[in-house]
Amino acid sequence: MTGLTLKNIKKAYGETEVIHGVDLDIDQGEFIVFVGPSGCGKSTLLRMIAGLEDITSGDLSIENAVVNDMPAAMRGIAMVFQTYALYPHMTVYDNMAFAMRIAKEPKDEIDRRVNEAAEMLQLTPYLGRLPKALSGGQRQRVAIGRAIVRHPKVFLFDEPLSNLDAALRVQTRIEIANLKEQMPETTMIYVTHDQVEAMTLADRIVVLSAGRIEQVGTPLELYTDPANVFVAKFIGSPAMNMMKGTMSATGEVSKVLVENQQAIEVPIKSDETLNGDNLHIGVRPEDFRLAEGGDPVLAEGKVLFVESLGEVTLLHIRVENHEEAIVAKLPGIMDLHKGEHIKLSANMEKVHLFDSKEISLKHR
């Protein structure tokens, strides 16, 4: 069942269009994560869905009914923001009960829902406290609790954890994952800058750039099969390395001449119109390995620095004629040092190819 549909949604502020026609179908109960660089339109999209911002053109539907002109309060949508504005003079209980009291809900129903939300968010012991006596993470959970008691059909989160320190983020992230399990019927859209949050919470991730959708897919689809260079570099950390090359022969297997003049054969299908074209060759840091014997060398150069993290070693390598350093993530502890000259190869199954317009050959 469709929870939410965006059809050619556009947003302009005066003459300036900032959302350029977004199409998206979200199933009921799905957990969708929006990611993208600052200013790409994530908050604007959420605010249009919530009804806090007019939709310039296009249709927004909830359960198949167009709601463009429906007031925010009627949409059955709750939104949690980065900064939680709790009422400082009210207890946790009263903060959570506030909206239901305004709506003149019966007292026992308010009590039932506040206790249910507190239970879900592990806030029961704190119901009698004032916000100032809570940690940042607990306060953010109260803000979420305030939204839960309204039993929304759709739950919107705009970077709810970005004000929390690292440890609290991890803990609150796990609580949001639990929440998702306890509210399987509720559609959730979650905006974050955090790769781990996006990868671990999302059923599907929507990657946005400059007011447009670049790709929609499950976390692993985006990781293994990015549609273009933008998504390839945006998803995954450290980012995918990009090298240049030219197509020397097309077919079931693409033969590519890397910028260092090495020839590689990548098991990705290519059509003959690509013959001789410039390509971007993408390799994730974790897909590199040290070249041995007859291995084709994808990149070689001097080690700029070594980051030994124990479980992995990150090597930053200066490659000739290459602006950005190449990063390799090798398993375990490596006996390698700054200044050493090394050669990197990769499993060709894991290599990505993009055409001169930066589109993946698998998505042309």
Contact 248, 256 (CB under 8 A): yes
- The pair of structure tokens assigned to 12 is 């302009």
Among 42, 169, 280, 316, binds ligand ATP (CB under 6 A): 42
Nearest approach in angstroms of CB 66 to ligand ATP is 22
**Comparison of 28 and 82: residue with beta carbon closer to Mg ion:** 82
- At residue 42, what is the residue type? K
Other CB atoms within 10 A of residue 71 CB: 8
Q: Which entry of Mg ion, ligand ATP, none binds 39, CB below 5 to 8 A by partner kind?
A: ligand ATP
d(CA 138, CA 74): 28
* Binders of ligand ATP in range 43-62 (CB under 6 A): 43-44
**How many beta carbons lie within 10 A of that of residue 103, not counting itself?**
10
Tokens of 196: 């781990």
- Closest to ligand ATP by CB, 13 vs 87, is 13
Which is nearer to ligand ATP, 38 or 261 (by Cβ)?
Answer: 38
Least distance to Mg ion from the beta carbon of 40, Å?
9
User: Can you state the angle between helices 107-120 and 166-182, rounded to 10 degrees?
Assistant: 120
Q: Which of 8, 13, 83, 307 binds ligand ATP (CB under 6 A)?
A: 13
Span interacting with ligand ATP, options 2-10, 31-39, 122-130, 171-179, rule CB under 6 A: 31-39
Tell whether residue 39 is a contact of ligand ATP (CB under 6 A): yes
Residue 150: name its binding partner from Mg ion, ligand ATP, none (Cβ under 5 to 8 Å by kind).
none
Find the shortest distance in angstroms from Cβ 193 to Mg ion: 9
Quick count: other Cβ atoms within 10 Å of Cβ 299?
A: 25
Residue 88: count of CB within 10 angstroms of its CB: 9
Q: What is the DSSP string of 50-84?
A: HTSS--SEEEEEETTEE-TTS-GGGTTEEEE-SS-
Taking the complex as a whole, how short is the minimal distance between the CB of residue 325 and Mg ion, in angstroms? 30
Q: Which of 31, 32, 41, 219 binds ligand ATP (CB under 6 A)?
A: 41
Q: Judged by CB under 6 A, how many residues of this single chain contact ligand ATP? A: 10
- Bond preceding residue 238 cis, omega within 30 of 0: yes
CB 306 within 8 A of CB 332: no
Among 1, 15, 38, 321, binds ligand ATP (CB under 6 A): 38
Which of 18, 70, 239, 290 binds ligand ATP (CB under 6 A)? It is: 18
d(CA 364, CA 353): 11
Q: Could you give the string, one character per residue 26-45, with x where binding to Mg ion holds by CB under 5 A and - elsewhere? A: -----------------x--
Q: List C-alpha distances in Å: 258 to 264, 265, 266, 345, 355.
A: 7, 10, 11, 12, 14
Residues lying near Mg ion in the complex (CB under 5 A): 43
Residues lying near ligand ATP in the complex (CB under 6 A): 13, 18, 36, 38-44
